[in-house]
């Protein structure tokens, strides 16, 4: 689909919905347009001049970004609809001239980008195996004969249910199955080695195909994450850190260590791989209840009727996957060579911004971030030693570069989880920042906007007066520019292009003044605007 078609589709869908942004409790920083069917009138300033909807659009864009970051695709669509409603109102409010058309295009382009990200997140949620369909006995016999030629270290059984799921994976799921095998080629050698260390069956290496299609970024609607789809509570039981700064469920190698331990424990509990795998999917407690209802009969195929639909089809799905992957060519599928990921680990003491490391060590920032998916904010934790992943062979060089980075330059921003009694002033004193810089970096209007449990970006550096208090936007000027301060704290939603246009300069000039290798900026960064 072309970009223009996507954009047109977004506009049509949004104008049809015109729904209120319903994803969270209304707050001072988030306007709530009227519900469907009511006339929505932008608030007029006291002077009688028509209000510019851009202020509300910016607040809603911030909410839309937050919804995408939280995996709330429905919330994003609600915010998207509200934004288009405001944009369509602009001509009636007398704001359809000047620089507004260009601003509207910027907003639409940003919504296209966010929509793509939201769709990616929705695609990450792997659906549970479908309900098996009836299969003719002749076809079951044919698949049994194919399966008989392979060797297994799990109690593989080919029956009607498994045959139906073999047809599913090699039929309508075929293209996604091929993509999953391609991804698996990077992780299977490591997974098999870990299974061997624990004396567990090698065929368990295919379990992530059922769980996540071998997608390390997969997130289910039940909030399970990663290759092995750990829930946060189970992850912590197996020493995986899962919080707003570090989520090791997303690291396929660390999560594999935990999954092997978990599978070993479940097998020790039930003494059966069918029951252990069912417990991996739905929890040991639910399998114990099914055993009780089955009056102690531990045969999986007998007690599966007492399990929920997803779980009773989970084991047959794994059996189907194992059978097919033993000989893909027999099912018309391509064979893939294994391409193990080669990486090393470098211990990092305290907080380090991986963007700073990438610049100093000559890494590609995105490659380094991909190697460290557990660092959700691209910062290593402050009060711990983190084993940072780097391309193998560069461990010693990376360690030397890290050691040479001055303490004051290791991070450009901190993260702080708001606790009871915190104020912008107390947080600023703790991190050597300023209250105004914190408010601006997080798009907050005042100190009353803080919420307990909220994660704040805390810029590092000299005192920075609030851009909102320091300057005024000249709406009526020929270019709609703001009077340029000496420095500017990047806010959520800012781009280098937007900042340059706001203050009458160019992205190239801002890159030159701030020694930026590219146009990447993040909330909390402090930019030098004038010399």
The separation between CA 281 and the C-alpha centre of its own chain, rounded to angstroms, equals 22
Given a contact cutoff of 8 angstroms between Cβ atoms, the answer to whether 194 and 258 are in contact is: no
b/e per residue, 167-184, with b = 16+ CB within 10 A?
Answer: bbbbeebeeebeebbebb
Distance CA 244, CA 377 (A): 8
Residue entry with tokens 């997080």:
442
Distance CA 365, CA 251 (A): 17
| 145 given a catalytic annotation | no
Given a contact cutoff of 8 angstroms between Cβ atoms, the answer to whether 33 and 63 are in contact is: no
Distance CA 526, CA 509 (A): 15
The 3-state secondary structure of 471-528, one letter per residue: CCECCCCCCCCECCCCEEECCCCCCHHHHHHHCCCCHHHHHHHHCCCCCCCCCCCEEE
Sign for the CA dihedral angle at 504, 506, 510, 512 comes to negative
> What's the distance, Cα to Cα, between the start and end of the chain in Å?
45
Given a contact cutoff of 8 angstroms between Cβ atoms, the answer to whether 486 and 531 are in contact is: no
Within 238-296, residue ranges assigned H as helices are 252-270, 273-282, 284-293
Given a contact cutoff of 8 angstroms between Cβ atoms, the answer to whether 523 and 491 are in contact is: yes
State the burial class of residue 461 (Cβ atoms within 10 Å of its Cβ: 0-12, 13-18, 19+): middle
Q: Phi and psi dihedrals of 90, rounded to 5?
A: -55, -50
Given a contact cutoff of 8 angstroms between Cβ atoms, the answer to whether 489 and 524 are in contact is: yes
Catalytically annotated residue among 211, 274, 355, 467: 211
**Token pair of 87 as six digits:** 């944009």
* Listed residue (64, 46, 55) closest to 95, CA to CA: 55
For the chain, the residue count is 531
Q: Phi and psi dihedrals of 441, rounded to 5?
A: -65, -25
The residues, any chain, with a CB within 8 Å of residue 137's CB and separated by 6 or more, are none
Instruction: Let me know the angle formed at the C-alpha of 54 by 49 and 60, rounded to the nearest 5 degrees.
Output: 135
Q: Look up residue 135 and give its DSSP letter.
A: -
**345 membership: H or E segment, kind and range:** strand 343-349
* Listed residue (486, 488, 498) closest to 468, CA to CA: 488
- Residues recognised as catalytic: 211
């Amino acid at each position: 689909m072309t970009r223009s078609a996507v954009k047109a589709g977004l506009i049509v869908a949004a104008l049809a919905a015109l729904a209120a942004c319903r994803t969270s409790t209304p707050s001072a920083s988030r306007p709530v347009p009227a519900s469907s069917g009511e006339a929505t009138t932008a608030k007029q300033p006291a002077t009688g001049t028509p209000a510019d909807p851009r202020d509300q659009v910016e607040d809603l864009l911030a909410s839309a970004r937050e919804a995408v970051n939280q995996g709330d695709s429905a919330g994003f669509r609600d915010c998207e609809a509200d934004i288009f409603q405001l944009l369509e109102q602009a001509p009636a409010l007398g704001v359809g001239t000047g620089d507004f058309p260009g601003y509207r295009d910027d907003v639409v382009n940003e919504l296209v980008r966010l929509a793509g990200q939201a769709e990616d997140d929705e695609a990450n949620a792997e659906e549970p195996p479908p309900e098996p369909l009836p299969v003719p006995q002749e076809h079951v016999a044919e698949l049994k004969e194919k399966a008989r030629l392979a060797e297994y270290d799990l109690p593989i059984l080919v029956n009607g249910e498994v045959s139906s799921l073999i047809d599913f994976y090699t039929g309508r799921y075929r293209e996604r199955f091929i993509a999953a095998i391609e991804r698996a080629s990077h992780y299977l050698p490591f997974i098999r080695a870990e299974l061997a260390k624990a004396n567990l069956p090698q065929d368990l290496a295919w379990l992530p195909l059922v769980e996540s299609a071998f997608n390390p970024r997969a997130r289910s609607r039940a909030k399970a994450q990663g290759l092995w789809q750990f829930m946060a509570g189970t992850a912590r039981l197996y020493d995986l850190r899962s919080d707003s700064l570090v989520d090791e469920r997303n690291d396929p190698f660390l999560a594999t260590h935990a999954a092997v331990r978990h599978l070993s424990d479940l097998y020790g509990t039930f003494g059966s791989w069918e029951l252990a795998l069912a417990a991996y999917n739905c929890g040991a407690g639910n399998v114990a209840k099914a055993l009780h209802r089955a009056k102690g009969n531990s045969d999986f195929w007998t007690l599966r009727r007492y399990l929920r639909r997803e779980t009773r089809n989970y084991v047959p799905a794994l059996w189907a996957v194992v059978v097919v992957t033993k000989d893909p060519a027999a099912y018309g599928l391509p064979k893939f060579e294994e391409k193990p990921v080669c990486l090393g680990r470098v211990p990092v003491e305290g907080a380090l911004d991986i963007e700073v490391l990438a610049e100093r060590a000559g890494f590609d920032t995105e490659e380094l971030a991909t190697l460290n998916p557990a660092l959700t904010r691209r910062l290593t934790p402050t009060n711990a030693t983190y084993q940072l992943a780097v391309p193998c062979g560069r461990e010693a060089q990376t360690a030397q570069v890290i050691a040479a980075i001055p303490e004051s330059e290791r991070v450009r921003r901190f993260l702080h989880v708001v606790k009871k009694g915190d104020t912008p002033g107390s947080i600023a004193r703790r991190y050597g920042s300023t209250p105004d810089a914190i408010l601006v970096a997080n798009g907050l209007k005042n100190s009353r906007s803080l919420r307990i449990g909220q994660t704040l970006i805390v810029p590092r550096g000299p005192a920075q007066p609030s851009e909102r208090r320091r300057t005024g936007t000249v709406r009526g000027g020929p270019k709609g520019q703001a009077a340029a301060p000496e420095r500017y704290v990047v806010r959520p939603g800012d781009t280098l292009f937007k900042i340059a246009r706001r203050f009458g300069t160019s992205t190239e000039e801002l890159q030159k003044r701030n020694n930026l290798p590219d146009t990447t900026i993040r909330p909390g960064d402090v930019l030098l605007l004038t010399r």
